[in-house]
Amino acid sequence: MIRFLNRYKLAVLFLLFLSFSVTAFAAPITMGNIISFSDVTVRTGEQVKSVLVVGGDAHINGSVTDELVVVNGNVFLSSTADVRDRVIVLGGKIIAENGAVIHKGFFQYGGDVFAISSLLTAGLIVLIMWLAQFAITAVLLLIPAAMVWLRPKLIGDISQAIRENKLKAVFLGILSILAGLTLIAIFSVSIIGLPLAFLLLLFLAVLAAVGISAVSLSAGESLSQYGNWQEPKKYFNVFLGSLLMALLFNVPVIGLMLLYLAIAAGLGGVCIKLFTAKATANNEDKEVKSK
């Protein structure tokens, strides 16, 4: 135990030594690059490759061959400073003497670290939203074709049900979504119900994939009839419909609403198909019993 504590103390002392000497040793360790969380000084006549400083100031008297980046700190360029690439300062300012040279320009944002964090967070949110939009667009293009290839008759029957009962399909679909989300919320309250909530969510996702495929096929068939194309194949129709769905989804403001209505219509078509199949089976049983 005592040996372990001694090793721990030595490790802590070594880390403290590195933290205080990061400016002096950063360049040789990182092959000419300086990475520091404290103040950095590049002396006159000294040449380094690049400089990254977080939470400190950069005093440049020598030459920097690549970028000079400072976050939450200031840059001081003396008359002998020579930065051959760009200077980027976030949360600070650039102070340059006469004779200092920046070859490729500079970018400076003088807000504090909280403002910088807000900008980075906003940029991350925009990136996530763009990636989500791209992923949903890809799903809208790929899932219908896969569903038609796997179950062409089922998708065709649901598509026909949607075309014959448009308003009814949308109404039943909205009720199905609300009922499903309500059950998921109820199951999610308890730990025991979490697996049931996950299974129900997965079941709704599968039904939504089947329904959106049927909606795409129905939309494609309508476009084919409008264009007077002579009996195009089902794959061509579903491609037209899925392309239309993807384009409508990417319309600003109303895209999500249109996608919600399409999913609702698809789920409603699935419900109509299930009810119709059950009613047909009951009628057949009655006919068999009467005979």
Taking only the tens of pLDDT, the chain with its 291 residues reads: 444 444 444 444 444 444 444 444 444 445 578 888 889 999 998 999 889 998 889 999 999 998 899 888 899 999 999 999 889 888 788 888 998 999 888 888 766 656 666 667 777 888 888 888 889 889 888 998 888 888 888 888 888 888 888 888 899 999 999 999 999 999 888 888 888 989 999 999 999 999 999 999 888 888 887 777 766 677 788 888 889 888 888 887 788 898 899 999 999 988 888 877 665 555 555 555 555
Domain boundaries, the chain: 2-111, 123-290
CA distance 36 to 290: 89
Q: What is the DSSP string of 116-177?
A: HHHHHHHHHHHHHHHHHHHHHHHHHHHHHHHHHHH-HHHHHHHHHHHHH-HHHHHHHHHHHH
CA distance 157 to 134: 30
Q: What is the DSSP string of 52-101?
A: EEESS-EEE-SEESS-EEEESS-EEE-TT-EESS-EEEESS-EEE-TT-E
Sign of CA dihedral 153, 233, 268, 135: positive
CA distance 81 to 59: 9
Query: One-letter amino acid identity for 199?
Result: L
